[in-house]
């Protein structure tokens, strides 16, 4: 399954483009722009599994760095600061990874 099976290619392009500058990534705005906030919990889990490149059931810090590339191959890598902020927002139990729930 491709990301464009779940989200609009146009929305993905706009969202990734909006955060193309280093240190500009805002995960709340990005997920809203890409259309995830309007999706069902089932569709959000499908997106999660696309981003979970190693199929571990979790998205770890090393996978988060490349989250924009998970939406489109020409997305940039997140900086260490951006990656840590995204991890902190999603890691509810402090184990260093984000689960599907």
The whole-angstrom separation of Cα 12 and Cα 2 is 12
Query: Is pLDDT at 73 greater than 90 in this prediction?
Result: yes
Is residue 83 within 8 Å of residue 59, measured between CB atoms?
no
Per-residue pLDDT, averaged over 71-86, amounts to 96
Is residue 26 within 8 Å of residue 78, measured between CB atoms?
no
The whole-angstrom separation of Cα 17 and Cα 68 is 10
Q: What is the pLDDT of residue 36?
A: 96
User: What does the block give as tokens for 86?
Assistant: 């995204």
Domain ranges for the chain, please list them. Answer: 7-91
Annotated binding-site residues read 52, 54, 56, 58, 63, 91, 93, 95, 97
The model's pLDDT over 38-69, given as tens digits with 9 standing for 90+, comes to 999 999 999 999 999 999 999 999 999 999 99
Annotated binding-site residues for Ca(2+) read 52, 54, 56, 58, 63, 91, 93, 95, 97
The predicted model scores a pTM of: 0.91
Say whether domain 7-91 belongs to CATH 1.10.238.10: yes
Query: Is pLDDT at 101 greater than 90 in this prediction?
Result: no
17 pLDDT tier (thresholds 50, 70, 90): very high
The whole-angstrom separation of Cα 50 and Cα 2 is 7
């Amino acid at each position: 399954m491709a990301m464009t099976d779940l989200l609009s290619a146009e929305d993905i392009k706009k969202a990734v483009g909006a955060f193309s500058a280093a240190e500009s990534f805002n995960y709340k705005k990005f997920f809203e722009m890409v259309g995830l906030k309007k999706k069902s919990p089932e569709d959000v889990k499908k997106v999660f599994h696309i981003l979970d490149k190693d199929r571990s059931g979790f998205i770890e810090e090393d996978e988060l760095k490349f989250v924009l590339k998970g939406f489109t191959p020409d997305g940039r890598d997140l900086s260490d600061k951006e990656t840590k902020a995204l991890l902190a927002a999603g890691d509810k139990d402090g184990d260093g990874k984000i689960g599907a729930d």
